Structure 1
Amino acid sequence: MSPMPLITGSNFSYQHLPFERFLDDAADLGREELELWGIAPHFHVPQVSDAEARAVRRRAASRGLRVRCLTPEQVAYPVNIASADTRLRASSIAMFRRAAELCAELGAELLLLTPGRGYEDEPVEAAWRRSADALAEIASYAEGFGVTCVLEPLQRVESNLLNDSRALARMLDEVGARTSPPCSTPWAWRSPGRAWTTTSTRSATGSATCTSSTAARPGTWRGATGSCRCPTTSPPSPATVMPGS
């Protein structure tokens, strides 16, 4: 198996270069899959039409590439799903819902999310709740398009909610439990620079036993201890690591 399907190319370093340059370089480097950063001028989610997304898909395919994951810009203002400002939070959730629709047009099976942040002088749990509610809403909406959401923890300067694997596991558990009953199924965990899925079996105490690694499946939210949507598709072939940036 070629290592290239396990390594995505991304346009993170190409914001000030033409998008065609990124696609050409990715193809020249032997990449086969892309993590598309949703940033202007390449792919600013609030402004991209369905037709424009399909055009990006065709331009990538003409070079032997496909978009595996869409990562809308979300760490910088004005996107914050945990915001205490109801209008800002609502517009942020709407942006991710639109991103899920664009994933379908791109043929991308993954949509990357981050937790947002709360005010520095408010209880963390208040912002945590807003974030978890938003993540559950977005994940449920994305599932309708065959898109799986993956969640990335951030540096402390970027978020005061998810900064380590323990907080990440807790959030994935909470969101997974809201979207469906527990089951034994793959879950996705994305830390800075990589994403993967692994099969976990939930015990009576809620702990998880990892049994195998598999490719991501569309239509399933991945919970850290198996709280997730039970998949309806057949098991995929192995593909365990997708470094992203």
Structure 2
Amino acid sequence: MKLRKEQIAGGNYQYTRHPFSHFVESMKRMDVHHIELYAASPHLYVDDYTPGTVGGQQKLLREAGIAVCCLTAEQCLYPVSAAIDDPIVRERSLRYYEKALELAAAFESPYMQMISGSGLIGSDPGEDWKRSADGIARLMKTAERVGVTIVLEADRTCTVKDTPDQLKMIKEIGSDHLSGMIDTNAIYHAGEDFEESVKLLGPHLRHLHFIDLKPDGGCLVPGSGILPMKEYLDVLGKYGYEGYLTPELWGFRYQECADEAMQQSLDFCRGCLDD
């Protein structure tokens, strides 16, 4: 089985210095019909969301024939953590994710991405995990009500650090509205094998951040770093992956050349699927 070109989604990560309309127009021109919506300022920050604030973005997307396949709320640059031991910050974080689920539903997105959060350096890892698990369990109530599945991403700085941790949390929560995803950058830094991670997640693999990197970090256009990106695509095809993959060009590197970086990403992925 081979991946389909239609499974390559666009993302607005590197477009946040452009108007949202520019991003949508670019996706239409590049023949992209599904996007991962990075919910951050100035396009649409989660805490600025009210039911009446997304009409303009929805209209632009519908007119361009574009659907949202995953909503990813900004949770790295802002103080958001489901695992933190500060009750005020943790409660605000959980309300933030509940609102992000509502926002995902407003865009008719089947998925909302999140990371599990972390405690402070020196805190008890067991207690950090418990707070994280309790918080995610609480989020399931909103996820089930609005019909959105949370795709949990592993990150070495969080309580859910790798693929085994993802499976552990998914089984512990035991909800059909919690599943997993892979970030190729995170897989590398966790020292994991991509194919083994795909096999481990199995049916829980619902979404994918498809980015290259250099050893010193950064999110790079696929094919411009050290990762075997074409082999990754072959692995996904081998295991019958049916979800979307997004070139998550997060950070400042590509803000001045957002269109060029997205076109290069699409050309690489589509070119691999032509082979």
TM-score by length of 1: 0.74
Structure 2 residue aligned with 1:241: 243
Query: Does the 8 A contact of 1:186 with 1:214 survive in 2?
Result: no
Q: Tell me, what secondary structure is at the counterpart of 1:13?
A: helix
Q: How does 1:36-185 map to 2 (within 5 A)?
A: 36-154=37-155, 156=156, 159-176=157-174, 179=175
Query: Does the 8 A contact of 1:57 with 1:66 survive in 2?
Result: no
Q: Tell me, what secondary structure is at the counterpart of 2:58?
A: helix
Structure 2 residue aligned with 1:29: 30
Alpha-carbon distance in structure 1 between the residues aligned to 2:104 and 2:84:
24
Q: Tell me, what secondary structure is at the counterpart of 1:130?
A: helix
Query: Does the 8 A contact of 2:69 with 2:244 survive in 1?
Result: no
Query: Does the 8 A contact of 1:152 with 1:190 survive in 2?
Result: yes
Counterpart residue type for residue 173 of structure 1: K
After TM superposition, give the deviation of residue 212 of structure 1 in Å. 7.0
Q: Which runs of 4+ in 1 moved over 3 A?
A: 185-188, 208-216
Q: CA 1:147 to 1:160, structure 2 compared with 1: closer, same or farther past 3 Å?
A: closer
Q: Tell me, what secondary structure is at the counterpart of 1:58?
A: helix
After TM superposition, give the deviation of residue 115 of structure 1 in Å. 0.5
Gaps of 5+ in 1: 180-184, 195-207, 217-237
Alpha-carbon distance in structure 2 between the residues aligned to 1:175 and 1:49:
29
Gaps of 5+ in 2: 186-198, 208-239, 249-275
Counterpart residue type for residue 44 of structure 1: Y
Alpha-carbon distance in structure 2 between the residues aligned to 1:119 and 1:213:
29
Query: Does the 8 A contact of 1:9 with 1:35 survive in 2?
Result: yes
Query: Does the 8 A contact of 2:115 with 2:153 survive in 1?
Result: yes
Counterpart residue type for residue 241 of structure 1: G
Alpha-carbon distance in structure 1 between the residues aligned to 2:115 and 2:126:
16
Counterpart residue type for residue 159 of structure 2: L
Alpha-carbon distance in structure 1 between the residues aligned to 2:101 and 2:4:
28
Counterpart residue type for residue 182 of structure 2: S
Counterpart residue type for residue 49 of structure 1: T
Alpha-carbon distance in structure 2 between the residues aligned to 1:67 and 1:92:
23
Counterpart residue type for residue 45 of structure 1: V
Q: Tell me, what secondary structure is at the counterpart of 1:93?
A: helix
CA displacement 1:28-78 (0-9 Å, x = unmatched) = 111111110011000100002212223322211111101111100012331
After TM superposition, give the deviation of residue 210 of structure 1 in Å. 8.6
Query: Does the 8 A contact of 1:38 with 1:73 survive in 2?
Result: yes
CA displacement 1:110-129 (0-9 Å, x = unmatched) = 11111011111011111111
User: Considering only aligned residues, what root-mean-square deviation do their CA atoms show, in Å?
Assistant: 2.8
Query: Does the 8 A contact of 1:116 with 1:131 survive in 2?
Result: yes
CA displacement 1:65-124 (0-9 Å, x = unmatched) = 011111000123311111100010001100111111112211111111110111110111
Structure 1 residue aligned with 2:222: none
